[in-house]
Amino acid sequence: MAPRIKTLRIKPLGIKTRERIVQSSLELFNLQGERSVSTNHIAAHMEISPGNLYYHFPNKQAIIAELFSEYEALVDSFLHPPKGRLPGVEDKRHYLMAILDGMWRYRFLHRDLEHLLDADPELADRYRRFSQHCLIKAMAIYGGFVEAGILAMDKVQIESLTLNAWIILTSWVRFLCTTRENASHLNEDAIRRGVYQVLMLEMAYVTPQSRDAVNALCAEFYVPLNKALEDAG
């Protein structure tokens, strides 16, 4: 059975208004797309006044910046080699599940990325630094898999694989939105197929002794393309 990721649950009570605004905004952005959601929509969804929302955030860009900070922290929490040991195939599974979780939880960022960066130069600058940081960390992780004998690559191949994986992961949600008839009905399986595509990039470099374990990992993440592209109501 394919691994399932945890979904974000919105708690209506017991948390501070600022946190509720952030969580409710994420929910609406993911469901409707950031461009379709205004601060008035967010306030109405929460059953608070627009003035209450503006007390915590001066505009929608500030909410998006807060959500991006959360996404940055999430990625930074897992995107690093294991400490004190070489990585194994199970570590690869951990990375893939964490990537899948982040892509699903913050899917609006990937879907509306170009528009978000055009609308906010400060966010665009932060995203450039974030991208560079992620590429450096990912190359270190791939280097660890090479040292562990799971992958066989030289430095140039590590750079190329890292860049190609980044391009797939950051553009996959937009690909789905332009290919599926109903872009608002994305599901976990559709995003899981994007993670599988990264695994397929890596298969050319898997060593013979690791091929069976990596093949089993591929089977966990495989989603038929027609299922990934079909519209789920």
Per-residue pLDDT tens digits of the chain, which is 233 residues long: 555 544 444 444 446 999 999 999 999 999 998 999 999 999 999 999 999 999 999 999 999 999 999 999 999 999 999 999 999 999 999 999 999 889 889 999 988 888 999 999 999 999 999 999 999 999 999 999 999 999 999 999 999 999 999 999 999 988 888 887 666 677 888 889 999 999 999 999 999 999 999 999 999 999 998 888 876 44
Instruction: Give the position of tokens 């797939």.
Output: 168
pLDDT of residue 129: 97
pLDDT of residue 180: 73
Tokens standing for residue 106: 């913050």
pLDDT of residue 186: 75
CA distance 61 to 120: 7
Cβ-proximal residues to 123 (8 Å cutoff; 6+ apart), any chain: 61, 64, 65, 68, 116, 117
Cβ-proximal residues to 111 (8 Å cutoff; 6+ apart), any chain: 33, 34, 173, 174, 177, 183, 186
pLDDT of residue 66: 97
Spatial contact of 141 and 79, defined as CB atoms under 8 Å apart: yes
CA distance 131 to 114: 14
Computed on alpha carbons and rounded to an integer, the radius of gyration of the chain in Å comes to 19
CA distance 174 to 155: 30
CA angle 28, 32, 37 (to 5 degrees): 65
CA angle 18, 19, 22 (to 5 degrees): 90
Going along the chain from its start, the domains and CATH numbers come out as 7-58 (1.10.10.60), 60-229 (1.10.357.10)
CA distance 178 to 187: 15
- Residues facing residue 209 across a β-bridge: none
